[in-house]
Structure 1
Amino acid sequence: MRSARLPGSPRGRRPMLIEGVASVFLETDSSGDRVRPGAFAASLSHAPAIPMLWRHQSGALAGVWSKLRETGKGLEVRGLIDREKPYGRLALKHVGTGLNGLSIGFRPRRWRMRPDGGRDLIEVDLVEVSLVRNPMANSARFRVVGEMGRRVA
């Protein structure tokens, strides 16, 4: 069975496949924001490819998200960390030491203030999803599925 590779990715240096939940619906993050179900729907329906960044740094591409979708739990993501990109290699080094956090970069379109001072985000424009050590939403995590073409048991 042949496996797909990212352009420029030699054999033996396959991208690492990860998946997780980048935003858990109704979980209050450390800034007081809480994302409502459906908040990403409009953005995902018309957005161009959403970049996988290293720690929200503009231009610090670590890989590519192949799937982003809303589920009952939140914004589920699946993607490839690219060993050929400098920030991809950096991310993989940190994955080896326990990095497993995800964080969304977004622009709020509609929100409601809560009595406790936090925001309920009703609609957002998703700009990017980053690999981070300490996500704002504690449950926003990923796991390694395997290398492209190879699954972790």
Structure 2
Amino acid sequence: MLEHKAIGLADATITDEGIITGYASLFGQRDDGGDTVVRGAFTKTLAIRAGRPMPMLREHEPRDVIGVWTDYTEDDRGLRVKGQLALDVQDGREAHGLIKMGALDGLSIGYKTLRFERDGEGRRLTEVRLFETSIVTFPMLGTARIDSVKAAEMTANEIEERLTRGAGLSRTVARALMRSGLPAIQAKRDAGDGAVNRMAHAVLSDLKAINRS
């Protein structure tokens, strides 16, 4: 299962032509799960990609490709990225408008941890494999974190917001679904069921697809 970390778009820029530049990950900032990405963690994965474009997704959803990331660079601060929204397709134009108005206000990487070191507070990630970078909602401003796309770890309010804003359901329907299924999901999560995150993400993706059909 991929891990996710989000960061706000406060330092990012977007042009009328849909070009986005900013940081997808910051070094040295510990997230809520106790992980810290250190400088050099992306060096090998970027070398393997050798400048090839990487998909720009919305909310880590593989079916929602909204553009491509053309440049990834590690500097002293973090992983700096540059990409192009696909303004010739509807999803790309929609994302462009939402970013400009502040409704989509974060970047989040999808990655797998390959090497890490333990310290007194958590893990120091020394090597990760980068798979994609997404435009997301609900980032924690100013710091990286485990992204709220891990729906089984959300609060009830966050889940409700994701169902209404992300899947497009009414609040009445979202709350009905939560009353029926949320307690069971949370119970399995608390029991250490590792499949819960995958299940919750899959359910959200299916709801989005149904609502669009």
Normalised TM-score (structure 2): 0.54
Distance 1:85 1:120 in 2: 39
Distance 2:40 2:54 in 1: 17
CA deviations 1:67-122 (Å, max 9, x no partner) are 11101111000111112234312312321321331111001100123322x32110
Alignment correspondent of 1:101: 106
On the 8 A contact 2:54/2:70 being kept in 1, the answer is no
Q: Match of 2:48, as an amino acid?
A: H
Structure 1 residues without counterparts, runs of 5 or longer? 1-13, 141-153
Alignment correspondent of 1:85: 89
Distance 2:114 2:141 in 1: 20
Distance 2:42 2:141 in 1: 16
SS in structure 1 at match of 2:63: coil
C-alpha displacement of 1:61: 0.8
- The size of the alignment, in residue pairs, is 126
Distance 1:136 1:127 in 2: 21
Identity of aligned residues (%): 38
Q: Match of 1:42, as an amino acid?
A: K
Alignment correspondent of 1:8: none
Q: Is 2:39 the partner of 1:37? A: yes
Flag the structure with higher strand content: 1
Structure 2 residues without counterparts, runs of 5 or longer? 1-15, 145-213
Distance 1:106 1:62 in 2: 19
Instruction: Report matched runs for 1:63-74 at 5 Å.
Output: 63-74=67-78
| Structure of higher CA gyration radius | 2
Distance 2:91 2:34 in 1: 29
Question: Runs ≥4 in structure 1, deviation > 3 angstroms?
Answer: 136-140
Distance 1:125 1:137 in 2: 24
Larger RCO: Structure 1 or Structure 2 (Cα < 8 Å, ≥ 6 residues apart)?
1
